[in-house]
Structures are given as C-alpha cells and as structure tokens.
C-alpha cells in the first residue's frame, strides 16, 4: 500500500544533495495543443511548423510554461500536496522541440539544494533535460514541510 497523499516527507530526515524524485514525460503535439487550450497561450509557434520556421526555428517547440509546469510535478508528488510548494522559479535556457511523430522526452531530477531549519522549508533543485540538453536553469522549488 502506498501512503496517503497528504503525508509529507519527514523534514528532519532530509539531506542536502539527496535525490527525492525523478520522472520522465513524453510530450507529443497533442500535449502542446492541450496545454494551449488549458493555459490560453495560443502562440502558433507551439502548434504550427510553418510559423515556427518563419521565425528561424527548426519546428514547433513546447511552451516554456508547459515544461515549467510539468517539471514541478515530481516535487508535488514527493511533497504529497501541491499547496506545499510555496515558491517556484526557473530560467528558460533552451527550447524543447517536439517532433510531429516522435514527440519529445523530458526528464526531471529533483534534489535537495538547501534546508531552512527555522522555516522548515526545503529548496528542491530541478535538473530538466531534453535528450542531453538541460532546458531550464536555476530551477528551484521551495517546499514547506510541517
């Protein structure tokens, strides 16, 4: 049996550098259309190759905000509650191109970057890769644990 989702990790047992979550996401063109509709971001470079190519890109790329949005999900699952993520920041450093037939795989590794004992908050540092390329810089989530 898995623990109830509201169970939080034990703050006092955490160690800096510890990997707390990992995940791989398969993006397809469908994922981009779904995110466009859900978010209201209908920039055509996220679903039309001709428009993407007209601005010098090889083809359609994922919304940076989709990559940011999915990259924090392993942290949410580890924390047990989306409300425990009190701060989340990223830099968008490289695009994720999504092939029309093969899609794209994005991997996420979440590691404890720092622990604030007084605030009982863990800074979780994310490494987000598309193939061998790191696509987000300084991706950090602050997670408050009771």
Partner 1 sequence: MTVNPELQGRVFEPTAPYLVGREKVREFARAVFAVNPINVDVQAARDAGYADIVAPPTFAIVVQEKTLAQLLAEPGSGIELSHVLHGEQRFSYTRPIVAGDELTATLTVTSVKALGGNAMVTAESQMTDAAGDHVVTATSVLVVRGDA
The residue ranges that bind partner 1 (CB under 8 A) are: 5-6, 25, 31, 34-35, 37-41, 43, 55, 64-66, 68-70, 72-73, 76-77, 80-83, 85-92, 141
Q: Judged by CB, which is closer to partner 1: 49, or 77?
A: 77
Rounded Cα distance, 31 and 41, in Å: 13
On whether the CB atoms of residues 106 and 25 are closer than 8 A, the answer is: yes
129: which strand partners? 107, 134
Closest separation between CB of residue 132 and partner 1, Å?
22
Rounded Cα distance, 119 and 124, in Å: 14
Closest separation between CB of residue 14 and partner 1, Å?
20
Closest separation between CB of residue 130 and partner 1, Å?
15
Tell me the two tokens of residue 75: 């942290």
Closest separation between CB of residue 91 and partner 1, Å?
5
Q: Judged by CB, which is closer to partner 1: 15, or 146?
A: 146
Q: Judged by CB, which is closer to partner 1: 74, or 112?
A: 74
CA distances from 137 to 56, 101, 121 (A): 23, 28, 21
């Amino acid at each position: 049996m898995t623990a109830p989702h509201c169970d939080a990790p034990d703050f006092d047992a955490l160690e800096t550098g510890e990997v707390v979550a990992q995940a791989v996401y398969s993006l397809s063109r469908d994922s981009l259309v779904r995110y466009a509709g859900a978010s209201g971001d209908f920039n055509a470079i996220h679903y039309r190759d001709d428009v993407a190519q007209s601005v010098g890109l090889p083809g359609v790329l994922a919304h940076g905000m989709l990559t940011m949005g999915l990259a924090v999900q392993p942290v949410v699952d580890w924390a047990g509650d989306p409300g425990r993520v009190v701060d989340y920041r990223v830099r968008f450093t490289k695009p994720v191109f999504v092939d029309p037939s093969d899609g794209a795989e994005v991997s996420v590794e979440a590691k404890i970057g720092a622990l604030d004992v007084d605030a009982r908050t863990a800074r979780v540092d994310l490494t987000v890769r598309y193939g061998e390329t790191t696509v987000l810089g300084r991706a950090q989530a602050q997670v408050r644990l009771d």
